[in-house]
Structure 1
């Protein structure tokens, strides 16, 4: 017996030593292997497997010392599936979503020192921005912990603060690394093309009486008379609590204007109705119009500053406008009068924290900036395939499993995606606790911002599905079959084979199971309670409801539903419509308005939907997207304009490989493009804009125009987070173009082309947008750009917002360097042949500058460099 025990102990020690040795080899492999990724051709002449679109890539593996690790696999994120691998030494397998695996074939022996190993392959679709090529390849051997390969990690440029990708070779070839199809006429945004595109904005524009967003009416009342805010202000408040104005008071303090007992008098008066005149502090002030609770009046004259409104929110916005008028370098304001109210009741920002998590601090900071520019809806995307980000009491698995990504541990995490780290504790992992979410709701409420939660379903639900499968296994192991089945979202007998838009095969919950609706009911009740506890009742809930094609085709439960409840699904395009109708009814009983994306909502039967419905229309304009938008607006649904080619801020600012972002709907969305949007007249953009290939397109609005009297509810900006791995990256994509969206959401410009309800056809030569309107638009842009460059960027810096510093247009003419920037007042420097960076001065002779870049207002941060 003693001999058996000793032998067993020796065997265990030997196995432990072997495991430690193997783990050491895995770590050594991860530290030594050098991976380089190259986009060889974004537009190959021929695509395999009859694909309409593909791209051709190369991965090279090298190592300074021989690596003898056996049976290894390298995993990496590739946004679109590899469709043909040309390597004989390695196989590439698509796992799920964007995750792929490289494994050695029988022809491979070992990774020898100083040898190069190459994989070339074709992938479906297109990738042409550097940010689409994901980091954090990792190596795994059965029985050992996976390790991220060091050479595939990102770094931060110390001058710009932007992410660097050392593993990715440079993109320099405009023909092979920039075009996505034969018709692609997109222009590479270099210093020369920017110089041609940008119209110089003079520094002489008077912005002392200007703010963002532009008020309905602003009149300077007395020549050169001004008030001085440098000694602070003294607030007198009537009809509203000082506490309700605290966020604005804090912003004034941030901008250098403090509240004092003997400062400039500022009175804030809320008059509920016309009979409240006696409470007015100054009898000669006219009453504001009672038609809009967000209306306010602001007057500056010899007696000081007075803000008058009919509600707390009107008073809030009046004081916010005072902050908007301030120039932090010169704390004086002219005598003026503002009468103001918003264009839209819905002025929104959508933030995706599901794909990659963004911190609570980022959300709170963003709420501050939303309030500063009078945005009032935060659409918070809290769950998707890659993560569930909200604690739900009673369903701990949703966050203990669904809020983090690691490898090979399905009971504790999700599979890595989107180039995520594999520790389960990176910045991309995480969730908002009950206390966090309650704090966000209270913070938003104090700034008059409604939080609209979105937990996507029935597609985009992989995080929920796999969390509930972990729950299922947990209770099944305890022998509790009933509890295990209660909230299960999949049917084991469902043999449907499908692939989602993001290439998942297991991300759509089964809409034919009672347990699915028990789960959703539980989640909604808990979210509703969280809002109730925070004093912000849940009135709108966004279900997503899009992108479910191919699911449930071989589901016995769905076969039974079609057979036994045929009258409930008659006339529906798919069971997604049945699901949306059922969830909408569930929400209506809870006094909650349903919201969803327009493609999913379009699968329903209008007569089966509640009267109150919100639809976010993200149909693309160059693909006749106005038709679907008009159709749902004509249903009298609350239609929110979510047009991707102008409101999706996860797309690049400029068409350049180093500008981060996606590209499927727009190659560039500059702040100026957002400013020039005319949301009330969607088809008219065919006269002014180009399609995804930078080609002219045509919009026919004669078939389904908006009915007379139909108006959109509002407009929303969108920040999807597939390519965002930090709060700073998110801020870079949002700012400053969010200010341009705030301008269009609050103020309708006189140059905007009025919508014609009789229906028109628009194309590049249709001539509806006149030259006079073009001149007015350019003049208005110069006003806006001046305010942004000379006032607002400094305010963003004071709030520690990592905004994008614009790239510089430049031209060298007869030894004189001439530059153009999108916004005036931005510091610029250039690099001479000697390598020295010098501040730019107009008219200065230079000796062959090599590079040029802008800087932040405080000159602490550099913008992206362009070669001349």
Structure 2
């Protein structure tokens, strides 16, 4: 009886958390009595640590409930918890035993992912630790509780900001026993279906109902109600052409017989492959083509320009260059229905709007397979996009083989549970400890083949090796190299590519919650040596592919300590709207690096803030010495430079990622005036990792836009950014105003962005990109009649000005939508690409 009494009282003691509000252990009455004679873990203790982890993985389930997304309003002192802008949310982790054995606390740790900083855990029986990035450890106190079959324990927590989408909460929690056993992913959490592990997210106030329909959207709805028929859309290509003159009759296109003087055999093969994908395998219509250069009308006599003549007797193309020949055939294929059919006779004269018509793909956070990238390149070529910006490295991964530096891929391209990170990077972004997602890289031969494949489709690959920030995968990998060679006694070799100052003690938290190892130290001797090695090797791959490297992307973004941002104040601060942190303990990147202190003292840099731009100038010299004509960078990577003249390359391109409502029009104006080639990557219009719609189950980040459907991307007026303030509200549905200042900025082009934090799989990636890619292609290639010319001093604001022809915008959208839905989306299906079924909201 004494054993029964002790066990019973122990279990009653656990129930005290219900009344304390410190977290609840919920045990059904039947379960409470089922273990009366046995409080052990039914044999788990006798298993090896790895076997015990596996058993825990099979039985333990973690679910998440978000209780309140505005905890400060309900009494939580978010400011004292150090939340940015004193904004925090309350929720709970629910641990449940779904197996048949009792689970005893002690000897194991649960590792979970959170893209929000966890500020506090409120349960006395759990220790909580931030590992790095989004990885956290939850360790129960030994003997604190026993989870019998069916029982659950609730662990309340406070997270920074809010959780408004199901994709804010990440899967693949895993358990480790005794610290070093093989980890086990919780079977119930090994899924990309968030509804299996997220119980509840509060409805948000700023959903679709809170966003009043704008005049443009009212007109859009009217136009969509009377979409043109397939027959009415037969003469509209996608993207739209500059001008077309109708001919007589039509031609039947069941296949194509190409005779194109000026294209290589591999480029012709790429066009034939596209035709085969579209089901054009019947009798071929003869397509002849030649390069005529400046003989074309002056407004199309530029790279990519062409005249396409479709007649009953055949098709001919006069092109400015080889790209024009290729695009002329792609226009014919666009006009042809999938499987073949009738194409109206006409003469088309066409040329691209922008030099840079791009798509950015983040393969670093979560890797994309070469086959998926080739499928994307197929679509880019088909819709006349010509620049693939590959984000090859970041904190979470290094994705390209560099001969001579094997650690970059042996360690930097793998994730596993190694808290020392001597064998791999720790798991991030719900990848699991076994590279279930997030692992992989392009071998040298795969990259060469990809560059060659892209070149055959007139797509230029722009490689980005992000530095000096977002470089943790490189820094950790090169530290492993240092240890390996130092152990062999090769001190000089070990230091050759070391990327940090070993004496740097800077306390830094990066934008995604890493420490100072997220930054390449620009003051170290190894930094420039490393950049030269990597640039040289990748340039060699391009030469081998027959497509010499023309543009190098330096990256340069977000080299900062977020704790020194505007949303924080000192511990003794009195502002209730800002988080209180120990600002005295915070440093700027490299702020405690003796190497950087010496460099600044020498006068080579004025401050720590200028170090990223200084490093960019140094890398530009390496790029220029390699015969590469253009270097690119994200806007914040060069903000302390005086202009392109500070850099060694012939051209300097800047990728702009301000939102319009945070001042993008002024930022673009500034960089353009300084002489940079400006490429728009506006998050509120061109980030395809943002959700399509307000549905909480739609995947995506939403810091710049809660809903970016095809219409929003289509409605972008890139040459007159202020105009857009009359068409769309800001992120939260509020009107904002923009007045044009200064002369019209020079725009090199636009590009879509596919950041990969919430795109764990290639299928998720394709769903997010397609079919928004079609709207991107339309705006990159074609300037619409409803886009107003830029005029200095014009003011635009939603609901107050009425300068834009919204009826013309809506009618143009309806014509585009009809072609996209009736003719082009079936082609995407034939290509094997995963896509969302609707282009609109």
Answer whether TM exceeds 0.5 for this pair. Answer: yes
Task: Give the alignment partner of residue 203 of structure 2, picking from 156, 159, 174.
Answer: 174
Correspondence for 2:161: 125
Task: Give the alignment partner of residue 226 of structure 1, picking from 246, 250, 266.
Answer: 250
Q: How does 1:723-742 map to 2 (within 5 A)?
A: 723-742=758-777
The alpha-carbon deviation at position 111 of structure 1 amounts to: 2.6
The alpha-carbon deviation at position 69 of structure 1 amounts to: 5.8
The alpha-carbon deviation at position 590 of structure 1 amounts to: 2.2
* Separation of aligned partners in 2, 1:743 and 1:203: 18
- 1:396-436 deviation line (CA, Å, top 9, x unaligned): 10000000100116222101110112114x34210000110
Task: Give the alignment partner of residue 271 of structure 1, picking from 292, 295, 315.
Answer: 292
The alpha-carbon deviation at position 272 of structure 1 amounts to: 4.2
- 1:512-548 deviation line (CA, Å, top 9, x unaligned): 1111111111111111111111111112111110111
Unpaired segments of 5 or more residues in structure 2?
Answer: 1-43, 561-587
* Separation of aligned partners in 2, 1:201 and 1:588: 54
Q: How does 1:631-642 map to 2 (within 5 A)?
A: 631-642=670-681
1:302 equivalent to 2:312? Answer yes
Correspondence for 1:38: 65
What is the DSSP-based 3-state SS (H/G/I as helix, E as strand, rest coil) of the residue aligned with 2:701? coil
Give the TM-score, by structure 2 length. Answer: 0.86
1:591 equivalent to 2:627? Answer yes
CA contact (8 A) 1:29 1:69 kept: no
The alpha-carbon deviation at position 126 of structure 1 amounts to: 2.6
- 1:344-388 deviation line (CA, Å, top 9, x unaligned): 010000000000001000011100000000000000000000000
What is the DSSP-based 3-state SS (H/G/I as helix, E as strand, rest coil) of the residue aligned with 2:257? strand
Task: Give the alignment partner of residue 561 of structure 1, picking from 591, 599, 615.
Answer: 599
1:670 equivalent to 2:709? Answer yes
* Separation of aligned partners in 2, 1:378 and 1:727: 17
CA 1:586–1:168 in structure 2 vs 1: closer, same or farther (change >3 Å)?
same
Task: Give the alignment partner of residue 485 of structure 2, picking from 475, 482, 488.
Answer: 475
Q: How does 1:779-818 map to 2 (within 5 A)?
A: 779-806=811-838
Task: Give the alignment partner of residue 149 of structure 1, picking from 166, 180, 186.
Answer: 186
- 1:211-247 deviation line (CA, Å, top 9, x unaligned): 100000112222xx111123x3433333444442221
1:202 equivalent to 2:240? Answer no
Task: Give the alignment partner of residue 789 of structure 2, picking from 754, 768, 773.
Answer: 754
Give the TM-score, by structure 1 length. Answer: 0.83
Runs of 4+ in 1 over 6 A off after TM superposition: 193-198, 286-290
The alpha-carbon deviation at position 579 of structure 1 amounts to: 1.4
Correspondence for 2:35: none
CA 1:335–1:699 in structure 2 vs 1: closer, same or farther (change >3 Å)?
same
* Separation of aligned partners in 1, 2:154 and 2:623: 54
CA contact (8 A) 2:600 2:608 kept: no
CA contact (8 A) 1:686 1:696 kept: yes
CA 1:19–1:597 in structure 2 vs 1: closer, same or farther (change >3 Å)?
farther
Unpaired segments of 5 or more residues in structure 1?
Answer: 1-16, 156-162, 275-285, 807-820, 824-868
* Separation of aligned partners in 2, 1:255 and 1:682: 37
CA contact (8 A) 1:48 1:84 kept: no
> Is 234-243 or 640-649 further displaced after alignment?
234-243
The alpha-carbon deviation at position 500 of structure 1 amounts to: 0.4
The alpha-carbon deviation at position 761 of structure 1 amounts to: 2.7
Task: Give the alignment partner of residue 738 of structure 2, picking from 676, 699, 715.
Answer: 699
Task: Give the alignment partner of residue 721 of structure 2, picking from 656, 666, 682.
Answer: 682
* Separation of aligned partners in 2, 1:552 and 1:152: 39
- 1:287-319 deviation line (CA, Å, top 9, x unaligned): 786730211111112322111112211110000
Correspondence for 2:350: 340
The alpha-carbon deviation at position 186 of structure 1 amounts to: 5.2
Correspondence for 1:24: 51
CA 1:711–1:259 in structure 2 vs 1: closer, same or farther (change >3 Å)?
farther
The alpha-carbon deviation at position 149 of structure 1 amounts to: 1.0
- 1:178-222 deviation line (CA, Å, top 9, x unaligned): 659xx994589xxxx999799424353601111100000112222
CA contact (8 A) 2:306 2:320 kept: yes
CA 1:187–1:656 in structure 2 vs 1: closer, same or farther (change >3 Å)?
farther
Correspondence for 1:382: 392
> Is 367-376 or 235-244 further displaced after alignment?
235-244
* Separation of aligned partners in 2, 1:561 and 1:698: 44
CA contact (8 A) 1:135 1:165 kept: no
CA 1:19–1:442 in structure 2 vs 1: closer, same or farther (change >3 Å)?
farther
Equivalent pairs, count: 752
CA 1:485–1:313 in structure 2 vs 1: closer, same or farther (change >3 Å)?
same
* Separation of aligned partners in 2, 1:399 and 1:322: 43
Higher helix share: 2
